[in-house]
């Protein structure tokens, strides 16, 4: 089946879920993480899908849920579902953030290790520690290339010694550590069940998105934004090309219902 045929078939599914990564997929990657925002074309594409019949749109991100809501400009009246922390946090229209039970000892260890990691990188220009709900991250986009390996190695050694059970993830100039191990495959599975989706489109641009792309079922459609090894059926060059594909899907879905 060609890419065009796969998109057309997905447009005809009874209940469509469109699940999208945020950073690098809808928003350009930026040095200041909280400055990320959707490109206008991406925002228009999301709006078109939200308006399409029998269609649910969700954002699936490694960001902590509160941060995701800020950068996505997501208010309490939004119809868009959110999955944060790679699949461990959930926000549902009409219900808000769903409750969870956090391990107090794990949170205390998170705080201790985060403080120690901050001390480790304090003297490296441009290095800092990004707090996460279930751990922390080490962004290195603002670190000199010659210093990046040393920064990552020092924090790697800390976590390996003190919390070897934590999950380590890498992305575009970032390493993340967390005591929760869910991946975006779990996030998409939760969304599929929650919405009763009969077909799913998932789009992402990074290594962590491959968890979800590999877990897609026959009849679903995976989209990779940019370069890199991928399990996705379709590859687009950039956010603008993804936005055009999403608008096309929305239009075909509307036409299929007429």
Q: Which domains, from first to last, does the chain contain? A: 3-100+183-257 (3.40.50.1000), 104-178 (3.30.70)
Contact 236, 224 (CB under 8 A): yes
Residue-wise pLDDT for 94-124, tens only, equals 999 999 999 999 999 999 999 999 999 999 9
Q: What is the pLDDT of residue 61?
A: 98
Which pLDDT band, with edges at 50, 70 and 90, does 257 fall under? confident
What does pTM read for this prediction?
0.95
Q: What is the mean pLDDT of residues 42-55?
A: 98
Contacts of 160 (CB under 8 A, 6+ apart): none
Pairing of strands 174-178, 167-171: antiparallel
Residue-wise pLDDT for 116-160, tens only, equals 999 999 999 999 999 999 999 999 999 999 999 999 999 999 999
Q: What is the mean pLDDT of residues 20-39?
A: 97
Q: Would you say residue 51 has pLDDT above 90?
A: yes
Residue-wise pLDDT for 169-224, tens only, equals 999 999 999 999 999 999 999 999 999 999 999 999 999 999 999 999 999 999 99
Please provide the DSSP assignment of 148-209 as one string.
Answer: HHHHHHHHHHHHHHH-TTSEEEEETTEEEEES----HHHHHHHHHHHHT-SEEEEEE-SGGG
């Amino acid at each position: 089946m060609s890419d065009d045929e796969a998109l057309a078939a997905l447009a005809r599914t009874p209940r469509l879920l469109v699940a999208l990564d945020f950073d690098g997929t809808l928003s350009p990657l930026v040095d200041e993480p909280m400055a990320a925002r959707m490109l206008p074309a991406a925002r228009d594409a999301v709006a078109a899908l939200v308006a399409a019949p029998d269609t649910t749109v969700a954002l699936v991100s490694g960001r902590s849920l509160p941060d995701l809501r800020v950068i996505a400009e997501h208010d309490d009246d939004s119809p868009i579902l959110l999955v944060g922390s790679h699949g461990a946090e959930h926000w549902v229209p009409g219900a808000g953030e769903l409750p969870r039970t956090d391990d107090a000892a794990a949170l205390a260890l998170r705080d201790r290790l985060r403080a120690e990691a901050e001390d480790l990188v304090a003297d490296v220009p441009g290095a800092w520690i990004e707090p996460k709900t279930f751990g922390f991250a080490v962004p290195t986009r603002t670190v000199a290339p010659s210093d990046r390996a040393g920064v990552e190695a020092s924090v790697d050694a800390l976590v390996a010694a003190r919390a070897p059970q934590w999950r380590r993830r890498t992305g575009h100039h970032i390493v993340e550590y967390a005591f929760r191990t869910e991946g975006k495959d779990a996030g998409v599975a939760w969304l599929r069940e929650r919405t009763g989706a009969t077909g799913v489109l998932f789009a992402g641009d990074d290594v962590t998105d491959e968890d979800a792309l590999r877990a897609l079922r026959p009849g679903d459609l995976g989209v990779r934004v940019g370069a890199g090894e991928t399990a996705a059926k379709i590859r687009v060059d950039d956010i603008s090309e993804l936005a055009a594909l999403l608008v096309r899907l929305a239009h075909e879905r509307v036409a299929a219902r007429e």
